[in-house]
Amino acid sequence: MTETVKTTYNQPNARGYFGEYGGKFVPEILIPVVQQLEEEYLKAIDDPEFLKQYHELLEEYVGRPTKLTFADKLTGHYGKAKIYLKREDLCHTGAHKINNAIGQILLAKRMGKTRIIAETGAGQHGVATATACAKFGLQCIVYMGAEDMERQKLNVDRMQLMGAEVRSVESGSRTLKDATNEAIRDWVTNPEDTFYIIGSVVGPHPYPMMVRNFHRVIGDEARKQILEKEGRLPDYLLACVGGGSNAMGLFYPFIEDDVKIIGIEAAGYGVDSGKTAATITKGSPGILHGSLSYLLHDQNGQIELAHSISAGLDYPGIGPEHSFLHDSKRVEYHSVTDDEAMEAVKLISKKEGIIPALETAHAFAWLEYMMSNTKEDEIIIVNLSGRGDKDMGTISENL
């Protein structure tokens, strides 16, 4: 969006593929719909008026730019490289997801759509979408598995308070993948007036590219801020990866630089436990939610239920661009367990006075593995994707 850094490393091809991954695996009737979305999106980001409105909202409503905070106590704890935190926890609603929701809402408005649909697992994307819809006075319908609605009642209340209708999905495992099926069914039925807001760098082309571009403001800001503070680029970037949007947002403007980039998945009980969400580590290519990418499935192609202590990483897929960055070895992917993430929550809270989201804690947990190999004159930027208040129930149970 902000063209502070030009990058050509990995634009998807004309059919929406990053290397072998991506594409548009949607029902026939939606092919012209995603085609039109792509055309309208490309026009919008060439329109200075659209960009101005988007950046004004990020500034006045979301609270950007977010700070790049030097974590002096955490740095002292390890006694190695300097650790900086990109503070997406300071965004309105407490996480990065709002950057994308605002971008897509503006596009929906521009396209004359009157009805917004979304699906949500933990409810975080639902809340970001409901927030943006309230701000713009648009009808908002959020599909959510019945099981998830019970587990995440607070987020259901938040969405309803802001005027969204939360539709309970009773089919299948009554979780995210069933909610996604329902959202796609709705989209197929109402393609004229409905805009489907997808919450991560997943889904059919152009979503992975578009969502990344709405989040690249994270990396654009971080780049400028670290140059101001240190006069040079960092040596490492570190972020947690669910679908992969906060990570892509930070990584993208640095992709062509000499910076080591690391994405951390949720191993759950352990990558070989059968209760994991470590898609790249444990999965293989397949089709889910409209695109071809790494995913967790059995020999029969049946999608496996993912597990992670953090609801936002509890997803059996990953964005196609991450699959490409993995295969091309530009980005390193690793995973940490639920227990390691919990230890990281405790450490960051004590050392920095910041309670990180359980998702974010996965990125911090990797510091235990990497810090001893770093040097005192090196610099790390960790993407602090969200704050942990929403997770206090789970955190309390595990203390």
Ligand X SMILES: *Cc1c(COP(=O)(O)O)cnc(C)c1O
Q: What share of the chain is helix, strand, coil (3-state, %, to 5)?
A: 45, 20, 35
Nearer to ligand X, 152 or 200 (CB): 200
CA distances to 40, 67, 315, 390 from 122, in Å:
30, 26, 10, 10
Quick check: 331 binds ligand X (CB under 6 A)?
no
Judging by beta carbons within 10 Å of its beta carbon (0-12, 13-18, 19+), is residue 32 exposed, middle or buried?
exposed
Q: Is 386 in the site for ligand X (CB under 6 A)?
A: yes
Q: Which is nearer to ligand X, 50 or 306 (CB)?
A: 306
- The catalytic residue among 291, 308, 323, 385 is 385
Q: What is the largest CA-CA distance in the chain?
A: 58
H helical segments located in 58-145? 72-78, 97-110, 124-136
* 119 noted as active-site residue: yes
Q: Applying CB under 6 A, does 203 fall inside the site for ligand X?
A: no
Q: Is 320 in the site for ligand X (CB under 6 A)?
A: no
Residue 385 engages ligand X in binding (rule: CB under 6 A): yes
Choosing from 241, 255, 271, 381, the residue that interacts with ligand X (CB under 6 A) is 241
Stretch that binds ligand X, among 13-21, 33-41, 73-81, 355-363 (CB under 6 A): 355-363
385 labelled catalytic: yes
Name the strands in the sheet holding 68-70, side by side, starting at the edge strand that comes first in the sequence: 68-70, 82-87, 379-384, 236-240, 260-268, 331-337
Q: According to CB under 6 A, which residues from 105 to 144 bind ligand X? A: 124
Alpha-carbon distances of 133 from 43, 105, 156, 377, rounded to whole Å: 22, 7, 15, 45
| # binding residues, ligand X (CB under 6 A) | 19
Q: Does 288 bind ligand X (CB under 6 A)?
A: no
Q: Examine residue 148 and tell whether it contacts ligand X (CB under 6 A).
A: no
Site membership for ligand X, residue 266 (CB under 6 A): no
284 given a catalytic annotation: no
End-to-end Cα spacing for the chain? 42
Of the candidates 38, 88, 119, 147, the residue annotated as catalytic is 119
Using the rule CB under 6 A, give the single segment among 24-32, 151-159, 237-245, 254-262 that binds ligand X: 237-245
Query: Which residues are marked as active site?
Result: 97, 119, 385
Query: Which residues sit at the interface with ligand X, rule CB under 6 A?
Result: 95, 97, 124, 200, 240-247, 312-313, 357, 359-360, 385-386
